[in-house]
């Protein structure tokens, strides 16, 4: 193994270590949010955790093979404005499927969810089994754009607690 190969290997290990540390921090942040009173950052933390998990977890990344959906998640009270873009990203020198999260909205997303407010969003995320239709019927959220993309996104979200080693949200909530 040449000098540059060793350097590259070390660089990758450092980057992976950084990502793992970042995931740990996000996990702690999510746990703190779920068990606390203020849930302002929950969505942002979960989406960031999602993007990190796509980098290091091959099985999870398999869910977004060649996937290019774009999403906007916002609230009527303007407390939440997040956009998510699934696209190819460069990771450790290679291009792979991934996602980008921004705290601004984008035009013409494939799918858009508007929560009534932050509480509605938190209730949805922490329900243990988020249901788009129930949310719509209860006036907690409205959707526009392609619903199938939203169903996929909710599925991806639901995998996160397990992947982060967080017990089901409901258990955490009960414990708190």
Partner 1 sequence: MCSKIGEVKNKLKEYTPDNLKEKLPLLDSLIELHRSVAAAVDIERSQYLTDHLKKTENSGIPMSIRRAQAISNYLSERKVFFHDNNMLGGATTGKALGAPVYPEYIGLTIWPELRTISTRIDNPQILNKEDADILNYEVFPYWLDRSISEEVRKVDPDRQSLQEKMIIYTISKAATISHTTPCYELVLKKGILGILCEAVEKEAKHDDDDEKSDFYQSVRIAMQGVLNYSANISREASKRANSEVDEERKKNFQRIAEVCKRVPAHPARNYIEAVNALWICQVCVFAENSNMAINPGRLDQILYPYFIKDFESGELSIEDALNISGSLWFKIADNVNLVPQAAEKLFGGAGAVPAITLGGVNKDGKDAVNELTYVLLKVTELLPIRDPNVNARYHPTENTADYRNEVSRTILTNKAIPAFFNDIQNIQTLVDQGETEEHARDYAVIGCVELGSVGRDYSASSSVFIPMYTVLYMALHNGRTTVTGDKSLWKATGKPEDFDTFEKFWDAYAEQTRLTAENAISLNNTYGKNHQEFLPTPILSAMFHGPMDKGRDLINGGSIYNSSGVTHIAFPDVCDSICAIRDVCFTEDNTDMQMSLSELVKAVDNNFEGNKLLEAYLKNKAPKYGTNHPIAEEISKRLIELSYSVFNNQENYRGGNYRVAYWTMTNHAGYGSVTGALPSGRRANVPFSSGITPVSQIDTQLTTSLNSVANLNSMHIPGAYALNIKYSPADPTHENVIKFGELVEGYMKEGGQQVQFNIQDYKTLINAKTHPEKYPHLLVRVSGYSAYFDTLNEAMKDELITRSQYNLSSGEFVPIQLEGE
Please give the residue ranges that form the binding site for partner 1 (CB under 8 A).
62-63, 65, 67, 69, 129-134, 136-139, 142-144, 146-149, 151-152, 154-155, 158-159
Closest CB 144 distance from partner 1, rounded Å: 6
Query: Which single residue is written with the structure tokens 């977004």?
Result: 64
| Eight-state DSSP code of residue 167 | P
Of residues 19 and 132, the one with the C-beta less far from partner 1: 132
Closest CB 117 distance from partner 1, rounded Å: 16
Element (H, E) at 84: strand 81-91
Of residues 15 and 127, the one with the C-beta less far from partner 1: 127
Closest CB 47 distance from partner 1, rounded Å: 16
SS3 at position 25: helix
Closest CB 88 distance from partner 1, rounded Å: 16
Please give the structure tokens belonging to residue 15: 């980057």
| Cβ 82 vs Cβ 44: under 8 Å | yes
- Identify the CA nearest to 154 among candidates 71, 98, 37: 71
């Amino acid at each position: 193994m040449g000098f540059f190969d060793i350097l590259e290997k070390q660089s990758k290990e450092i980057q992976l270590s950084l990502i793992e540390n970042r995931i740990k921090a996000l996990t702690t942040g999510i746990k703190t949010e779920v068990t606390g009173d203020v849930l302002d950052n929950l969505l942002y933390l979960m989406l960031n955790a999602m993007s990190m998990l796509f980098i290091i977890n091959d099985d999870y990344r398999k869910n977004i093979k060649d996937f290019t959906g774009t999403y906007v998640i916002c609230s009527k009270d303007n407390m939440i404005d997040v956009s998510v873009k699934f696209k190819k990203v460069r990771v450790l020198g290679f291009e792979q499927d991934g996602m980008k999260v921004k705290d601004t909205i984008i035009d013409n997303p494939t799918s858009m969810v508007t929560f009534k407010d932050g509480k509605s969003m938190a209730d949805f995320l922490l329900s243990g089994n988020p249901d788009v239709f129930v949310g719509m019927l209860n006036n907690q959220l409205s959707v526009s754009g392609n619903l199938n993309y939203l169903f996929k996104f909710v599925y991806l979200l639901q995998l996160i607690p397990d992947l982060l080693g967080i017990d089901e949200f409901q258990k955490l909530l009960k414990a708190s």
